[in-house]
Structure 1
Amino acid sequence: MSTLSFLLATHTELSGDEVAHLQRLASEWQLLSDLSFADFLLWVPVTTDPEAAPHFLCVAHSRPTTAPTAHPDDMVGGTATATQHPQLARALDDTTMRREEQPRWHRGRSIRREVVPVVYQGRVIAVLGRDTNLAAPRVPSTLEISYLAVAGDLCQMIADGTFPTADDAEEGRSSPRVGDGLVRVSAIGTVLYASPNAASAFHRLGWSDELVGADLPTVTRRVSADPFEGAEVVSMLRDALAGTPSPRTEVEGRGATAVVRALPLRPRGVPSGALVLVRDVTEVRRRDRALMSKDATIREIHHRVKNNLQTVAALLRLQARRTRHEEARSALTESMRRVASIALVHESLAASVDERVDIDEVLAGVLPMMNDLVRAGAGVSLSREGRAGALPAVMATPLVLVVTELVSNALEHGFPTPQTSGSVRIVATRTASELRIDIVDDGAGLPDTFSLERAPGLGLQIVRTLVDSELGGTLSVRPDADGGTRAELRIPLTRR
């Protein structure tokens, strides 16, 4: 299905500001449909001949959640001529909302059609069709009468060119819905109607009296647990009554939380009060707090694990310095380096908000430790190229260990004698499906009898195990074309 922006760009010559206005209107689709108990169709005039009567293209369609739809099939992309829908053409000329005198039958349904001109900066740029399914008769109730009255005011404001405004763009997409709770307020702030859900929301906040007839700014001030927050909500309501749309605001009281949004109602420029939408989000905020608490706990665990691992690494370093046996000292130093590498991963996780690790940052911390492996007097340089990016925590620890072991092998076996100069490069290349890391050195190269599968060293055994079982990748070690050795690590990303 084509998007609103695509259809407008393809079939109209509307300016960028006019297109933005229609997109803002589309963000309020659900509010208008639910209040009207009707489908809303957005029609734009399309013509290639200035002398011919325009025909109309439907570029957007919204269905109500409060009533049966008038159009089960998607109407986007459909067309109508002035003969088929004469009210559309008339709305372009006199900017007046119109209703057909007699209902029409459409695919076995009785439908009442109305049109609302969409005015922007004094010019009609589109027409809203409001189609109501009359097949299911509705008993007039206070709720239905209130909803339709508010819908009538908002539609008149669309014809006036005063709704929606630029401030409504983001609010419409995340606003409480009509079914969450609706309050109709008079021009002086008195509650004229409150839906059952809205009344329940204010009762949970702590208001025990009847809501209808009360002054809503006073009610919100009294139920708000925070006086500053209460003053902010009162100011928001006063602004809406004065004609200024307000952003969503939260009110907390008696352990309950509600989201409130106020829309001014000024049909034909006459103050008519405000529409206040209310949604009880107590359970949502409770879960948010629980998640925040759990997230803080996980970060604290990573922080403590990092501290403990650093302590273990420091103890291993001290023990290595006190050991006289060269082989034992080397084993303790390698163990210290491995533990310190894992500690760096946990340090990164302690600062992460989504359990992902920036591999490049961790490697930047590991490489200085690798310099300890360079023999005194040797001029071997370590460098990184490219970016490995961020990876999930489950992949980060084994990957960092694999890279450090491969770099350690390159330093130890590629430059076995003192006063040897050269370089070891870590080259990272990442695509949507794979992470490739090459460790390239220009050292002594591989012996003729080398076999990765039969290599007896502990480091390569650790590498093979981690690559196969933890990373699900592949590793190859071969002579480099320019001399030295190249270890190629391939890690699939698509199955993660």
Structure 2
Amino acid sequence: MVELCKQFTSLTDDEIEELLKVISYWETEAVAPDADVFVDVFNEIKKNALVVYHRTPLSKPSMYDHAVVGLDALMENEPGVLRTMQLGINSIGLIALSQEGKLIRQSIYPIKYGAKVIGTLIIETDGSIPSDENETSIEAIIDTNYITDDFIINQLSENVLVFDAKGILLSANAGAKELYRRLGYRNNIIGMSYDNLTLDYVTFDYIKFKIERESGNWSIDSESKYLHYYFVIKHSWIALRERLVVVVQDVTEFKRREEELVLKSVAIQEMHHRVKNNLQSIVSLLKIQERRAKHGETKKVLQDSVSRIMAIASTHELLSKQMENYTLLEQTLTMIVHNFHHIFANYKDVKICLQVDSEVYITTDQVVAVSVIVNELLQNVFDHAYNDRQGGNVTVVGKLVNSTIFIEVSDDGSGFDISAVNEDSLGMMIIKGYVKDKLKGKLKIESDGNGTRVSFRFRYDVTM
């Protein structure tokens, strides 16, 4: 529990101690013996509730089959947890969905330290209720005998049509009727044959073939372009009722936006390429100025500026070669290391070892921030870690840890006194500012006589 709090929150030692007192009480007292009891804290990186403690029921088996400590409680599944964290008020008897997809009933209470909410206490019991009291999904309706009820199908957002065994339309909801009006059907579509209404070129002869061949219920999914429209269509045969249910989803707007995104992506690629070229022109000018500079400090400032601009230029070069809005973390870090080998080729014999998970991706918004931060960390290593010797070893780690991206730059140099670091230095301001403001992440610095380790972690936002 303590380690999770230190990794993902900014709770103080006193606040963590208060949580431990709450946990100790529930460990020793036989309160709510038939309930699963949890303590959650706010995950500052992922902006979700994080489970840090679980006491299973004392009088019966737990509702959970697997360990949930370290997992998140999502807003869309357990809204009461974050509600209590944010407002500091109780949330009693709310129905929610567990991490294992089970209905649960939650009573949630804020855990406070002074006036600050530092966590929540959650008491969970079985939230199962009869299925006819649940919100009905379209799949559930298809499997019931109420599919021809106009009131029921009119509640669905999809366009629904119901045909009999001869292919005659018996019923259609308001959405379907409006869809066919937009497609040019002027008359009432009720009573029309299936072949006059099909939008994906599946004939009723094929439907009859499927009916004769298959026993029981079956379904067919398809995608179709009809005129300038795009549809996703589901055909479901309900054997007991001898009804064909057709659900039509209009995805035209989605397809059009998808095409627009492709065109925009091409334009963005060209923009990245031009930005890279312009930044390289600036680098060339700075290098000329560096060669003409007479003072060592001036040369150093110009060289640092070249390094920073090259880091940004390289990211634009990388982004100009891809269509997706994400890229491999390995590519990004390899590119930064390559730049350093190029810029500092004759400076110090420092070996940089990459240990990066080859399957971790970061978004295009994160690429520049990661590049600038790692570039700055490597710059610090080359400037300060090996003042008394010519060579050393640097390791750059990148991996996925608990749904967050973890990056660490470590060296075997002389180390430094962290308390004596100049917080106003440009390099430190860049590192802290980019981690906190650009990545919404957490930074950790450790240093001793065996070297320095600087790590930061931030939310993994890529969905593929």
Which of residues 465, 476, 479 in structure 1 aligns to 2:448? 479
The root-mean-square deviation of aligned C-alpha atoms, in Å, is: 4.7
Rate the CA distance shift 1:330–1:453 in 2: closer, same or farther, 3 A. Answer: closer
Q: Which residue matches 1:184?
A: 163
The question of whether the paired residues in 2 share the 8 Å contact of 1:426 and 1:440 is answered with yes
How far off is 1:411 after superposition? Answer: 1.9
SS state at 2:422 partner: coil
How far off is 1:432 after superposition? Answer: 2.6
- Segments of 5+ residues of structure 2 without an aligned counterpart are 1-60, 62-127, 137-142
Q: Which has a greater percent of strand?
A: 2
Q: Which residue matches 1:311?
A: 277
Q: Write out per-residue CA displacement over residues 420-456 of structure 1, whole angstroms, 9 at most, x where no aligned residue.
A: 332211234653376554322234x257899322575
Which of residues 267, 270, 275 in structure 1 aligns to 2:244? 275
SS state at 1:247 partner: strand
Tell me, yes or no, if structure 1 residue 462 matches structure 2 residue 445: no
CA distance in 1, matches of 2:416, 2:163: 85
The question of whether the paired residues in 1 share the 8 Å contact of 2:415 and 2:448 is answered with yes
Q: Write out per-residue CA displacement over residues 101-141 of structure 1, whole angstroms, 9 at most, x where no aligned residue.
A: xxxxxxxxxxxxxxxxxxxxxxxxxxx9x999xxxxxxxxx
The question of whether the paired residues in 2 share the 8 Å contact of 1:438 and 1:489 is answered with yes
Q: Which residue matches 2:383?
A: 412
Q: Which residue matches 2:207?
A: 237
How far off is 1:367 after superposition? Answer: 0.8
CA distance in 2, matches of 1:364, 1:214: 63
Which of residues 377, 386, 402 in structure 2 aligns to 1:432? 402
Tell me, yes or no, if structure 1 residue 325 matches structure 2 residue 285: no
Correspondences of 1:166-185 after superposition (within 5 Å): 180-185=159-164
Q: Which residue matches 2:368?
A: 397
The question of whether the paired residues in 2 share the 8 Å contact of 1:432 and 1:494 is answered with no
Q: Which has a greater percent of helix?
A: 1
Q: Which residue matches 1:442?
A: 412
How far off is 1:486 after superposition? Answer: 0.5
CA distance in 2, matches of 1:63, 1:233: 38
CA distance in 2, matches of 1:202, 1:258: 13
CA distance in 1, matches of 2:379, 2:300: 12
CA distance in 2, matches of 1:260, 1:199: 16
CA distance in 2, matches of 1:266, 1:462: 66
Which protein shows a greater Rg?
A: 1
Q: Which residue matches 2:183?
A: 205
Rate the CA distance shift 1:289–1:322 in 2: closer, same or farther, 3 A. Answer: same
Q: Which residue matches 1:334?
A: 304
How far off is 1:402 after superposition? Answer: 1.4
Q: Which residue matches 2:262?
A: 296
The question of whether the paired residues in 1 share the 8 Å contact of 2:416 and 2:448 is answered with no
CA distance in 2, matches of 1:143, 1:447: 76
Paired amino acid for 1:451:
A
Correspondences of 1:131-142 after superposition (within 5 Å): none
- Segments of 5+ residues of structure 1 without an aligned counterpart are 1-9, 11-57, 67-127, 133-141, 149-175
Tell me, yes or no, if structure 1 residue 421 matches structure 2 residue 391: yes
How far off is 1:362 after superposition? Answer: 0.5
Q: Write out per-residue CA displacement over residues 161-185 of structure 1, whole angstroms, 9 at most, x where no aligned residue.
A: xxxxxxxxxxxxxxx9698423323
How far off is 1:491 after superposition? Answer: 3.7
Q: TM-score, normalised by structure 2?
A: 0.53
The question of whether the paired residues in 2 share the 8 Å contact of 1:411 and 1:424 is answered with no
Rate the CA distance shift 1:265–1:396 in 2: closer, same or farther, 3 A. Answer: closer
Tell me, yes or no, if structure 1 residue 249 matches structure 2 residue 222: yes
- The count of corresponding residues between Structure 1 and Structure 2 is 317
Q: Which residue matches 1:285?
A: 252
Tell me, yes or no, if structure 1 residue 368 matches structure 2 residue 338: yes
Q: TM-score, normalised by structure 1?
A: 0.50
SS state at 1:181 partner: strand
